[in-house]
Amino acid sequence: MKIIGIESTAVTASAALAEDDKCLFVFTQTTALKHSETLLPMLENGLNVTSHTMDDVDMIAVTAGPGSFTGVRIGVSMAKGLAFGRSIPCVGVSTLESLAFNLSGFCGLLCPVMDARRGQLYNALFLSDGETITRLTPDRLISAEELKKELSEREAQAVYFCGDGYRIARETIDLPSVKETPQALRHQNAFSTTQIARKLYEQAENKNAFTDEALAPVYLRASQAERESLEKEQREQTR
């Protein structure tokens, strides 16, 4: 199965093509969130270099969030556009789970963290034995202080951070169990996205559920526009 991977939820944009568990190409670029201008050319270049076309593709995989609201929308919209009219599965995966997959060769507690602003992090915890990754928590919003408390209580021998919240986590969570994560593995990688999507699809009882129509962003919190609208509505109700 040949799978296109799309990642646009943070500052790193990434596009990939996998054949089952083999990476045919993966491109990543840090572009200050100008992903609408860079993702499609990256993908087209990769397909050309590997002598593939969209007709060779069996599945579209995209990180559907959490992450930058704009970035998430760009990736999901691109995935929908590529899948439209092709009758191929379109699978949305967790950005945090995709990040954790980068560290699947490590043994310990995998702790992807993304800066959610407003003093919070997008986070989930995973346990890895070097081969298999097990999810321990759902994707969530959490403060660095709350995460530090939870990690200290879990008493893991090794904790590995990854994601664009890496620096924040390293500066605020100074536990002895925290280990250095290689820089190349800290950020989003669309090949990881393809592998999580492949696993989800293979394990799904209803494979017909993975359509471009069903694909939707996952935000974990309301956007600023939605928050302002709610606050305005609440003010009007109290008058």
Cα–Cα distance list, 117 to 11, 28, 138, 145, 223 (Å): 14, 24, 19, 14, 12
Instruction: Please give the angle made by the CA atoms of 86, 213 and 57, to the nearest 5 degrees.
Output: 30
pTM across the whole model? 0.91
Question: What CATH homologous superfamily does 103-185 map to?
Answer: ATPase, nucleotide binding domain (3.30.420.40)
Give the residue extent of every domain in the chain.
Answer: 2-96+188-233, 103-185
Residue 159 has pLDDT above 50, yes or no: yes
User: Residue type for 151, please?
Assistant: L
Q: How confident is the model at residue 155 (pLDDT cuts 50, 70, 90)?
A: confident
Which residues, listed in sequence order, are joined to residue 175 by a DSSP beta bridge?
none
* Class (C level, CATH) for 2-96+188-233: alpha beta
- pLDDT per residue over 199-233, tens digit each? 999 999 999 999 999 999 999 986 544 444 444 45
- Section 18-45 average pLDDT: 91
Q: Which residues neighbour 14 within 8 Å (Cβ) at sequence distance 6 or greater? A: 5, 6, 7, 8, 26, 27, 28, 29, 42, 188, 189, 190, 191, 193
3 state DSSP class of 39: helix
